[in-house]
Copies of this chain bind each other. A is one copy, B any other.
Amino acid sequence: MIARKYQHIAHYIENGVEAIRRTGIRVLALQDRYVKLLMPLAGNTNHIGIMYAGSLFALGEVTGGAIFAVAFDTEHYVPIVKEVTIRYRRPALTDITLESAIPADRVAAVETDLREKGKADFPLTVELKDAGGEVVSLVQGVWQARKMPEGLVNPLAKP
């Protein structure tokens, strides 16, 4: 379920960045510090009929921004990605979903860093699963929350 207060975030994740919108990614759930996302197989198959590696990557990578938006202060900070590793374990033959959550105490620690240094890293590890619950890919990334640059309005902030 998408919490009412996060409807604008869901809309932004699905439509805000043109290259992500093109994948047809769908937000299945947004709650405080929790996201569930889906990448459709349709429109994302590769040269051998399985999900294209880059679409699986997009699903994993967008998680950093999505978790940021339901865990941190989107009016004063913005997320960037520093590094991502994706391991392809099995062919992805169905729509693919992922769930990710960040604990409240971890958010508090990152926020302390943010207030003191103006930026703070937050690593995430996420499993991408097929319709049968098998892990097809594993994504490990490091994102960073940063003070909003002067003159920029965070598109993830409330409208």
**A residues within 8 Å of B by Cβ?**
16-20, 22-23, 43-48, 52-55, 57-58, 61-62, 65, 78, 80-88, 149, 152, 154-156
Contact = CB atoms under 8 A, between A and B. Distances in A.
15 contacts: A16-B47, A18-B44, A18-B45, A19-B22, A20-B52, A47-B65, A47-B78, A48-B78, A54-B54, A54-B58, A54-B61, A57-B84, A82-B87, A83-B86, A84-B85
Copies in the assembly, this chain = 2
Given A19-B54, A19-B55, A82-B88, 10 more contacts: A17-B45, A18-B44, A20-B54, A47-B65, A48-B78, A48-B149, A48-B152, A53-B61, A54-B61, A84-B86
